Structure 1
Amino acid sequence: MAATIAYLRVSTDDQTTATQRATIEEKHKIDTWFTDEATSGAIKAEQREGLSKLLQYVRKGDTVVVYAIDRLGRNTIDVLETVEALAAKEVAVISIREGFDLSTPMGKMMLTMLAGMAELERSNIKARQMAGIERAKAEGRALGREKTIDDAQVAQWRSENSASIKATAEHFDISTASVKRACRTAKG
C-alpha cells in the first residue's frame, strides 16, 4: 500500500520544524516523517541523514510531501537530482508552498522548468569558474598545486638506473603520471 511521507528540514539550531509540520498536517495525513534539523542547505541532499533514509525508504506509488521544494536540496541542481531520484522510483513529490504535485502534467511542466533552471545554474557556475581562472592567469598567479618534484632529478635517476616508470615512481613516492610528465619536461 502506498504511503504518504513528509520531509522536514531546518538549517540552524534556533529554527524549528513546527511550522513546516503544522502546514503539512493541515493538508495531508502523513504515514512517516523524516527530518533533518540544524542541517545546512550547503550539504548535498544525499549526504543528509534524514533525506538519505527517506530515499532508501520510499517505494513505487508513495508520495513525498515537503513544505517547500528548496527543502529537498541546496540549489536548483541538487533539488532536481533529488526529485529525479524520487521520480525514478515512481514516487510523487508535492510541494505545498509552490503548490505543485510533480506527478501531474502541471507538475511535470514545473519539473521541466526546474531542469532548465538547473542547466542555467550549471552553465553560470562554469562561466564564473572560467572567469576566475582567466583573472588569476592575467594576474600571474600560479594555478594548481605547487610543484614538489624536480623533473630533471627524476629523469636523471631513471636514466642512470635504467629504471622502469613504476620503479621510478616508487623510488620518489610519486605517481607514474608524474614520472612520465617529469621525463617529458626534462627532455625539453
Structure 2
Amino acid sequence: MGYEKVGYARTSTLDQTAGLAAQERELCAAGCERVFVEQVSSVDLTAREKLEEAIAYVREGDTLVVTKLDRLARSVAHLLELLDRINAKGASLLILDMGIDTGTPTGKLMLTMLGGVAEFERAIMLERQREGIAKAKAEGKYKGRKPTARAKASEVLDLHKTGKGATEIAEEVGIGRASVYRILRDAESA
C-alpha cells in the first residue's frame, strides 16, 4: 500500500466558486488522489466537516495538502492543534504556496518558526494596543466601543410589537439575534 496525498480546499461562502476550482486544480496537479472540498467561513470551526473528514482519512505516511495556510487554519493556535492531530496519525502537512512540507525536518522547523513569529507579532500588536488605550484613557479620549445594538433598542422593540420574530428583527436591524433577545429581556425587566 503506497502513501497518498490528500487535498483540502476551502473558500468562504462569500468567495466565488472559481477560487475553489483553482484550489482543486492546484491540488490535483500536486498529485492529490482525493480532495475534500467545502465552502465555509474559517471562523465557523464547528461547520468544517470536510476538514474533519480529511484528517480522519489520512493514514500513516500520507500527506495532507493545502494550497495556502489560510485555507487550513484561522490562527497559530488552531494550526498547531491541527498539526498535532495530523502528526499523531503519522501523516504530514504540505502547504503549496509556501513550499513547506512537515514531512521533512526543514519543513517542521520552518512552520514552527513561522508560527512563533506570527505569535510574537500578535503579542507585540496587542501590547501596543493596550498601551494606546491606556494613553487615550489617561488623556480622557478613550470612550470604548460604541454600543451598536443597544442604540437600536427602540427599533427592535417597535418591530417586536408588530409580531416579528427575533431572527427577522436581527436581519432587518443589522444586529445579532442574541442582541435582540437581550434588548427584549431588558425591556421586560424594566
Fold equivalence (TM over 0.5): yes
- Kept in 2: contact 1:76–1:117 (CA 8 A): no
Partner residue in 2 for 1:49: 49
Partner residue in 2 for 1:33: 35
Structure 2: stretches of 5+ with no match in the other structure: 145-190
Q: Which has the larger radius of gyration?
A: 1
Q: CA deviation at 1:23?
A: 1.4
Partner residue in 2 for 1:20: 23
Partner residue in 2 for 1:62: 62
Task: Please list, as runs of the form range in 1=range in 2, the aligned pairs for 1:128-147 lying within 5 A after superposition.
Answer: 130-131=130-131, 134=134, 138=138, 139=140
After TM superposition, the score normalised by the length of structure 1 is 0.60
Q: CA deviation at 1:132?
A: 6.9
Structure 2 CA distance for partners of 1:125 and 1:54, relative to 1, 3 Å: farther
Does 17-26 or 75-84 show the bigger shift? 75-84
**TM-align CA RMSD:** 2.9
- Kept in 2: contact 1:80–1:114 (CA 8 A): no
Letter in 1 for 2:26: T
Partner residue in 1 for 2:97: 97
Distance in structure 2 (CA, Å) of the matches to 1:91 and 1:123 = 31
- Kept in 2: contact 1:63–1:92 (CA 8 A): yes
How many residues in Structure 1 have an aligned counterpart in Structure 2? 140
After TM superposition, the score normalised by the length of structure 2 is 0.59
Structure 2 CA distance for partners of 1:137 and 1:107, relative to 1, 3 Å: same
Distance in structure 1 (CA, Å) of the matches to 2:131 and 2:90 = 40
Shift >3 Å, 4+ stretches: 128-142
Partner residue in 2 for 1:183: none
Cα deviation 1:84-126 (Å, max 9, x = unaligned): 3212322111121112211112211212212312431452364
Task: Please list, as runs of the form range in 1=range in 2, the aligned pairs for 1:169-188 lying within 5 A after superposition.
Answer: none
Letter in 2 for 1:27: A
Q: Percentage identity across aligned positions?
A: 37
- Kept in 2: contact 1:77–1:121 (CA 8 A): no
Q: CA deviation at 1:68?
A: 1.5
Structure 1: stretches of 5+ with no match in the other structure: 143-188
